[in-house]
Structures are given as structure tokens and as C-alpha cells.
Structure 1
């Protein structure tokens, strides 16, 4: 009886589909979440795959993308004839050519919602750390006084899942909350957090003490914050970016910070990532930069990976994919 059960379990394990991931550790998947993938799939890491694409390519049905890797380039996709789905770890899919990937008969998924709390926490952490100069610059040229967060005016650019979570947290600091979004949220949503809608971005920039950018990277949002927008901000204003590095014109930001056009910037995202060691942003005492760790909590990562697994399993079984990204 025991032998039959063992053989049955072994047979089930052998029938697990194969998936491609970047690596385990370093910039790849944390070791403590690989077990979530292993429960359902055989894993091939990119380095191993590249050593023998002809052996591994035909059996791989799913690809788990983490920190933009493995990159969905034509040279890789052409080696994966059985590929059914690419699961992206994160919400933003600006690094993926969805129509092109779909042309291979491959679906694309992401992980919306699950990252909202951790990213909103990071936005508030950056805002607070910058306002209270928690981390001082080596040059000690930072103002000797701090700036009040409680009772100040917060402008949120992008009032989706994450932006709304930022507003919820800001309410606890009795902040006056302004927001700009493509679509105005419901009256109920606004009243719940005490937020006021700014139809014009310029109005938000002029009135805010802190501006938090939480938008997806699209052609319309690339360079959204540049020389003109920064010049509209208060000289005591702080820019916080937790979206994508390319949303902010970094050359314009450097000039604004050096000239005193704005007081400070706190960034969890840059372009590129990481910045070259000689980049001017790394030399300025009024800049706080973290290495894109907005979603980097153990709980959030495990939820993201589980969502990726669920998406891949659904695609492989021909079921409705919970978080499929449709080509526009």
C-alpha cells in the first residue's frame, strides 16, 4: 500500500509542468518563496537554460519574471515553442511588449492589488524620512530644521490602488489631501479619506508641500515631472516617487534640487536602476534614494509569488486567467 502511494506521488511530481525563472537568490527569487513555485512546477533557471536551450526549451510552458528577468526578448521567446504564459511579478508591465508576446500565443499576467499596501507604506516612509531628515547627507548642508508632516498638504499624482492607500495613511497625519488622476474617484472614496480632486496637475503642484507620484509608466506619463512642473512646486516642497524612474526627468530634478527650486526629493525608483555611481543625484544632500524596495517585504513577496503561480496554473489549464493583461 505504501509503495503504491509513493509511486503515485512520484508520478504526480513527474507530471508537473516546467517553468523558467531568472535565478534563486541575489536579484532573483528569494529562497524562502521558491517552495511556492516548487509545489506545482519543475523549475529551470535562466543560466541552466542557456547552457542547453534545445533540451529545456520545448518543455517550458510558463515563465516567471522577477525584477524584469528573464527578459521577454525575441531570441528567448523563439526558443520556447510550448510557452503559454509569462507571469510578471509586479503591477507595471511597461517592460513588456504585450501585443508582440501575444502574437506567440502567450498570455501575460501581473500582480495587481497585492503590492498596494507595501508600496504605500514605502511612500510614507520616504516622505517622513525626508521631512524629518532621518538620514542626513555627508556634507551636512541639509537644513538644520525639519518640516512638519502633520497638517501639511499632500498632493498625490495617480489615485489608483496605491495612491488611495497613500491617502488613507496620510489621513492619520491630518494632512490636507489633493489628488490628480485621469478619472475622478467617487464622492464616497473622496470623503472616506478627505481628498479633494485637482482637475489640473498645475494646481496640485502649486499647493502641495509633498508631491507623491504613483502612476503607471506609459507614453503619456514618461517625463511627466520635468522642468516646468518642478518650477511650479513650492521651494519648500518635496517630491516623492514610488512609480517608475522615467516618470521624472532626472536632469530637471537635479537642477531643481541644486538651485533650490524644490527642497528635497525621496525616490524609490530611478533610471537606470541602480544609478551609475557618479550620477549627480547620488551626490546631493537633499536626496534620499532607496533601491526599488517598495514591495520588498516577506509577506508581500509571498503573496505576489502565489498570485503568479495561480495565474500560470490557470493559463496552463485553459481556464480564465485572474490577472491577465490585455493588449491595448
Structure 2
């Protein structure tokens, strides 16, 4: 099985199979022992975010030449070990950026108008206009973006179209960068952003410096009406501190598409709050985005196997 796919890949499998024998087993990541046993002859491995590509896995894959990541996060890949072996890593580039940006706006609208609760109440026979008629508009509100890369810039563009004001914190972005210069996004220190924003949206990778970036201290710096949105990685938010802030009424709400543990343990302490929107890591999953991601990764895996330069290789 020279090409092994261990997680969900709705498109592109047939294309890979025209090049070499391909095994598609989207639940294989759940069975570590069986996964390691199938890697002996593997030259290409395609994963999402559940398969841990670490030194132990690489030791079981002596012929591995390329790893394809169906997405953009790299925290489940041991990049140092992969580089040491000379194994190419390719991703979907920014193929799901539109989907994540649209989800972020959808989350803001959903929480601003309390749509899930209104839907549930109405379907149960209620007609409580007074209770659900006191939502608020996005227009004029301040959106704080922590991270102004491919996704953050797309969120900014869409938020500006709603008449929002946008500030951002990103140490890698300068005022001359297109996302700031062309869109008119003001760059700000993190503490200033936390204190001024009505919505705070996270668009940063999981690194040692970003783990629990949003902790009890930083939650305390936010407005008590502010809404936190996380579509990046669950570990960026201290979930226990978030639950405490919500329980104490020190935060207006949250939308979490990613969690520190996926799926979270039950009972989930964050599920008790009406003002929290929880979704199962779907922000980047649309029919269109998956077509782009799968095609990009499949093509780059084949380029690497043919000895060509991939378009979206991780440096």
C-alpha cells in the first residue's frame, strides 16, 4: 500500500489510485497498532488532524517520502522528525480559508441574534418576540482579530462589509502588509485589542507561545459583553477559565469549533451555556473547500512522488 489515507478524504482518492496502489481507511487513525503495521511499504501518507505523525510512526515507515495534511494545522505532525528524515510535508494551502471566514461571520450573527434558542423555542410552540427581539447588530461593533494571515484577512474583509470596525494583533504583520494597508485594519497590542473588542476571533496556529493564549488573566481583560470565537485550535483557550468567566457573567458568549480534546469529555462544562455555540470542528468543512483541499493535497502528493516540486510544501 504505497499510498495510505488514514482519515476522511471525500475526493481525490481515485486520482491517487491511478498513480499507485492506494488504501483508503478513514477510521485507521483510531487503531494505532494496525496503522503502524500498514506503514511498512508506504511511500505516501495522507492525514487530517487526528493521526499523530511522530517519531514512533516514522520508525514504522522506512519508505515514506511525503505526508499530505488535509488542512493547514500542523500540530499533529513532528516537523523536526520529518525534516530529519527528508520527508516532504504538503498541505491544502489556504483552500479552506473562505469556509472558515464565513463560519466566523455566521457564528457572530448566530450569537448576536440568539438564533439557536429562538429556533428551539419556536419549534416547541413558543412565539416569544420580546425575549428574542433584543439581539444586537454587527454594524458598528469592534472585531478584534488575533492573527491576520490568510483566514484573518478574509474575516476582516467580510466584517468590514457588515460595517464593523476591525483591529488586529499579529506580531508577523506590519502596517504595510496588504491585510492592514489595503483593508484599513488597525494593528494593536494584544491587551488593547482584548479591552476594546466586542468580538474576538482567534486565527493563530498552536505553538508553545499560543497554548492557553486566552487564559484567566486575558479573559478578565475583555468586556463583560464580549464574544470569543475560536476556529484555530482548542488548546489556545484555557477552557476551564472560559467556563468560569461565563458562569460568573464576565463574558458575553463564545463560539468554539475546536476543543482541547476532540470530542470533549462528557458531561461538557461548556455545553450548559445558552450563549455558547459549540460545533464539531467544521468551520473549514464545506463541499467547495473540501474539493479544493483534497485536490490540492492529492496533486502535491503526486508531485512529490514524481520527484517534482509541490506547490504547498511546508518549509
TM-score band w.r.t. shorter chain: 0.7 to 0.9
Residue from 109, 130, 135 that aligns with 1:146: 135
* Aligned residue number for residue 9 of structure 2: 29
- The two structures have a TM-score, normalised by structure 2, of 0.87
Shift of 1:185: 4.2
Shift of 1:301: 0.8
Residue from 45, 49, 52 that aligns with 1:67: 49
Is structure 2 residue 114 aligned with structure 1 residue 108? no
Equivalences for residues 112-261 of structure 1 within 5 A = 112-136=93-117, 144=132, 145-182=134-171, 183-186=173-176, 189-198=179-188, 200-261=189-250
| Structure 1 stretches lacking a partner, 5+ long | 1-16
Alpha carbons 1:37, 1:305 under 8 Å: kept: no
* Aligned residue number for residue 43 of structure 1: 22
Partner of 2:46: helix, strand, or coil?
Answer: strand
Is structure 2 residue 288 aligned with structure 1 residue 299? yes
Alpha carbons 1:85, 1:106 under 8 Å: kept: yes
Alpha carbons of structure 1 residues 256 and 124: separation in structure 2 relative to 1, 3 Å? same
Shift of 1:89: 0.9
Shift of 1:310: 1.9
Calculate the aligned-residue CA RMSD, in Å.
2.5
Alpha carbons 2:54, 2:81 under 8 Å: kept: no
Alpha carbons 1:58, 1:81 under 8 Å: kept: yes
| Structure 2 stretches lacking a partner, 5+ long | none
2-side partners of 1:213 and 1:29: how far apart? Answer: 26
1-side partners of 2:48 and 2:20: how far apart? Answer: 16
1:120-156 deviation digits (Å, cap 9, x = unpaired): 111111111111111129899xx75212211111111
1:229-267 deviation digits (Å, cap 9, x = unpaired): 111111111001111001111011001111111110011
1:161-191 deviation digits (Å, cap 9, x = unpaired): 0000000000111101111111224265434
Alpha carbons of structure 1 residues 172 and 35: separation in structure 2 relative to 1, 3 Å? same
Alpha carbons 1:126, 1:267 under 8 Å: kept: no
- The two structures have a TM-score, normalised by structure 1, of 0.84
Is structure 2 residue 19 aligned with structure 1 residue 19? no
2-side partners of 1:167 and 1:319: how far apart? Answer: 36
* Aligned residue number for residue 278 of structure 2: 289
Equivalent pairs counted in the alignment come to 300
Equivalences for residues 83-98 of structure 1 within 5 A = 83-98=64-79
Alpha carbons of structure 1 residues 188 and 77: separation in structure 2 relative to 1, 3 Å? closer
Q: Which has the larger radius of gyration?
A: 1
2-side partners of 1:297 and 1:274: how far apart? Answer: 20
Alpha carbons of structure 1 residues 60 and 188: separation in structure 2 relative to 1, 3 Å? closer
1-side partners of 2:221 and 2:83: how far apart? Answer: 42
2-side partners of 1:66 and 1:39: how far apart? Answer: 22
Residue from 305, 308, 314 that aligns with 1:316: 305
Alpha carbons of structure 1 residues 51 and 224: separation in structure 2 relative to 1, 3 Å? closer
Alpha carbons 2:9, 2:294 under 8 Å: kept: no
